[in-house]
Structure 1
């Protein structure tokens, strides 16, 4: 039984169609009462970190939703494994055909045909084998016209196109079952049509909102949230370097748009400035992937003015410690480029020593620990930096390095562990690091292979372990509790002393599940949580009514 109940009190960045991220395709029912929208969220990965791992069964990062036309309220919400390309309402039944899919980049055109029941909100995937579905249309109540992609690359030479058309006639569409449509479908080659028009979808969404006196602004992936001493909240997200909210505001006090993504936001000890890390997306040029250097801006939190720009020569992440010292660790490791250095910076941003730690990659080496008295990093072997990783501390200003303890605490297992986020705390049990991560397996993330662990600091002695099936996206702590969010949509509250579960709850907004990406403790009973769909939830903790009634 949970000791606490988690309540969502406010939603910052709320607005119409927020559930679907970037719209891809929009369809309105002929009677005008219902709108179906499919979109895309950001895969939860940026240049320094990946938190997309889930144990199977898994769903994708492509949301779709059904909205009531009058007030644009979300009536049903679900995700698809592949991006949606096309939507068509059945002429007489409460059914919607949704075609999804994409080229996998190397061989196959995969996807599915979904039938959405508007009465129940359930979906059924009706193709026996994965195929990209590019167009759907109902010829009549029994006939569904499809344009499918060819199954794989070698079929293009045979057909002279990548698109094949077919028509399927059935009288049981209202009794659809999984994989009920089996090949062959009697496909005929047709010329490739235009691809999904994202700009058109956004224009339709803007018009729908404008007609109802509402404003739509695209928001996705709040990668970082932090709190300020006066109660304000800052957030970094896709397309926004940093934005600032007051506790009661409906709109940000200020916002700094940017190309690319706001990835990190570190408030400096003075509480008046913050470091904001932004990164543009990588590009495929001259037959190889390239990525621009990161930009680190020092931002005045009262005005939103950018005071100083730090421009490393490579993509980088910021690692900081409680007294304001910070470091830039290079993350570039694609192609021939490998950045092995970290640059130490004093609280005022002046560079100090440079230290070599070996290669970084976003799966292995992310180690962002709040409140720590030291600059902490993960370092692996010189020849294979992803193996045998240790937690190391780098001293300032000279840059000397101390190996503290192996990331793996179970010598008998000898696992390959990934790093994650965490916090330093010093409570009744003494100083410790509580941090998250996952155990690597060639089959992907297995059930129980994600973890939160508490280890004595600086010795690394194991104190407790909490295991999970999905990756941790954010973690914060105080003297009593550890607050942890997962990419499954769950928030778990652990007792700091022994890791016992005090509460676990799926996060929802208006009844629909959201995926938390970032978290900060505002006070002993309040949290701010940034979501994959671009919102910031202000949540409170209250004693569980069930527990309270048991104690009466």
Structure 2
């Protein structure tokens, strides 16, 4: 057999119901031995970056998990493409019906009806056409009563209700097939049912697990030389985990979410960026930057940016803020160089989270993406901003193959200097107006500072994080995959989909955590402490 290239030794921040994020709706099996929970994760983006781009077929973002009530073990985990509205266990068979859907904000109500087989873990989408499912009731073993949303705004009926009721009677629920259900034309107008009650769902979870508290979206992790791991997530600017600790040694709480962590040279302090968010709207609040003592978590200093911003750093500890605001005043896209005795401001053009993120570990310069003045998203170039004067040096175009005629976006990366010379390895995507396509995500090694491409690795899903050492590049993708590449030629040494307890997770952040170790932060709020074999190991069975 082949040993996986990464073995998860510890799962930090783990606990019951961690798979589902924030509870949204629950259901209990007739014999009370199982509880199903539909949850909600944060969107795969923040004010500095979006990491949700994947080509089809794509798994959903909204989780459903089935737990055993006796020990709270997660038995099944699945996802849907829409928010989960209703759950119903079959009265006699090992089946769970899952209703999901939402209004698209402009015209359509879309969703799906899933059937999860509790004996196999298989999930089937039953409806022939997408419909928002708002309520599910098993009237008897053969009859499923549904309340659906109207298909679109044109179908709204008198009285203002947007719901329709129907019943489906079958004797083959245990033999489901994709698209086997066609909603009957005899749907009857129905009063809009109450929507999910997240507070009641959270109470149901706490009754089974009194110590439960939500953890969501670990956007940044870092490893220290002594084996400790740092993490930042919602409500926590920074937390520190010792090598053998079951709980964080300390936490720096935040009024928003911790998004970036830069460890200072020497490893004594770290700089963290947090941001308060507004549900469903672009954030306008200024970002907050704090310097933290890594011995005990004391906040040494606090700086408020002028606008929402991201941090950019270089290997010697110099750093800058780049404004990410979307108001008219932010069009200049100011870069603020933070120095001990002065602050220098330069303009690079407007920033947007889909185009301009360019976070390069260990970089010898402060690196940014800069587009055309009138179209800042177009013809982007990698530029360095020098300290202390703030001189802007254009280095090379982000696009290394102009003949393809695509539009490239930035990503994350790392600087390295090996026998092939200085280089940056960075991620990104190629866009051509037709949405995410297979092979349009990439990892590329480029000579520094010329930008000449040495090798390119392509993928179907967006890269979320990258780190590198002298021999290998470690990359996570929002498909759940961890890929290890050789720095010399980009050959994939190993590929694996990350799983915790047998269930898939989505990695958002990654960092080397010492020799042969990686720390990986996940969308559901956990941190994976992994041991890495850099080449596949074959063992006799």
1:333-377 deviations in whole A, cap 9, x for unaligned? 25775351010012x5x5421010000000110000000110000
Counterpart of 2:489 (choices 494, 498, 517) is: 498
- Please say if 1:235 is aligned against 2:228: no
Name the SS of the counterpart of 2:367 in structure 1: strand
**Structure 2: how far apart are the matches of 1:297 and 1:452?**
31
- Please say if 1:14 is aligned against 2:34: no
1:425-466 deviations in whole A, cap 9, x for unaligned? 001111000000010122211111110000110111111111
Partner residue, 1:327: 320
- Asked whether the 8 Å contact 2:462–2:478 carries over to 1, the reply is yes
- Please say if 1:399 is aligned against 2:395: no
Name the SS of the counterpart of 1:182 in structure 2: coil
| Mapping for residues 101-500 of structure 1, pairs under 5 Å | 101-158=101-158, 160-210=160-210, 215-282=211-278, 291-333=284-326, 338-346=331-339, 348=340, 351-500=342-491
Name the SS of the counterpart of 2:174 in structure 1: helix
Q: CA deviation at 1:230?
A: 2.3
Q: CA deviation at 1:155?
A: 2.2
**Structure 1: how far apart are the matches of 2:198 and 2:332?**
36
Partner residue, 2:62: 62
Q: Which shows bigger deviation, 250-259 or 367-376?
A: 250-259
- Asked whether the 8 Å contact 1:343–1:351 carries over to 2, the reply is no
Q: CA deviation at 1:292?
A: 1.5
Distance 1:216 1:339, change over 3 A: farther
Q: CA deviation at 1:168?
A: 1.8
Q: CA deviation at 1:258?
A: 2.1
**Structure 2: how far apart are the matches of 1:249 and 1:339?**
46
Normalising by structure 2, what TM-score? 0.96
Normalising by structure 1, what TM-score? 0.94
Q: CA deviation at 1:2?
A: 7.8
**Structure 2: how far apart are the matches of 1:433 and 1:36?**
46
**Structure 2: how far apart are the matches of 1:26 and 1:239?**
25
Q: CA deviation at 1:546?
A: 4.8
Name the SS of the counterpart of 1:442 in structure 2: coil
Distance 1:181 1:3, change over 3 A: closer
- Asked whether the 8 Å contact 1:20–1:533 carries over to 2, the reply is yes
Distance 1:424 1:77, change over 3 A: same
- Asked whether the 8 Å contact 1:3–1:543 carries over to 2, the reply is no
Q: CA deviation at 1:256?
A: 2.2
**Structure 2: how far apart are the matches of 1:376 and 1:14?**
36
**Structure 2: how far apart are the matches of 1:446 and 1:334?**
31
Q: Which shows bigger deviation, 155-164 or 109-118?
A: 155-164
**Structure 2: how far apart are the matches of 1:443 and 1:499?**
27
**Structure 1: how far apart are the matches of 2:24 and 2:18?**
13
Q: CA deviation at 1:154?
A: 2.3
- Asked whether the 8 Å contact 1:507–1:514 carries over to 2, the reply is yes
Q: CA deviation at 1:549?
A: 6.2
Name the SS of the counterpart of 2:167 in structure 1: strand
- Please say if 1:533 is aligned against 2:524: yes
Partner residue, 1:87: 87
**Structure 1: how far apart are the matches of 2:275 and 2:256?**
5
**Structure 2: how far apart are the matches of 1:366 and 1:498?**
25
**Structure 2: how far apart are the matches of 1:435 and 1:289?**
27
**Structure 2: how far apart are the matches of 1:62 and 1:335?**
34
- Asked whether the 8 Å contact 2:116–2:123 carries over to 1, the reply is yes
Name the SS of the counterpart of 1:243 in structure 2: strand
Unaligned stretches of 5+ residues in structure 2: none
Name the SS of the counterpart of 2:5 in structure 1: strand
**Structure 2: how far apart are the matches of 1:519 and 1:63?**
22
Q: CA deviation at 1:190?
A: 2.2
**Structure 1: how far apart are the matches of 2:529 and 2:366?**
30
**Structure 1: how far apart are the matches of 2:16 and 2:197?**
20
For these two proteins, the number of residue pairs brought into alignment is 541
**Structure 2: how far apart are the matches of 1:131 and 1:383?**
42
Distance 1:544 1:75, change over 3 A: farther
1:58-88 deviations in whole A, cap 9, x for unaligned? 1221111111221111111111111111111
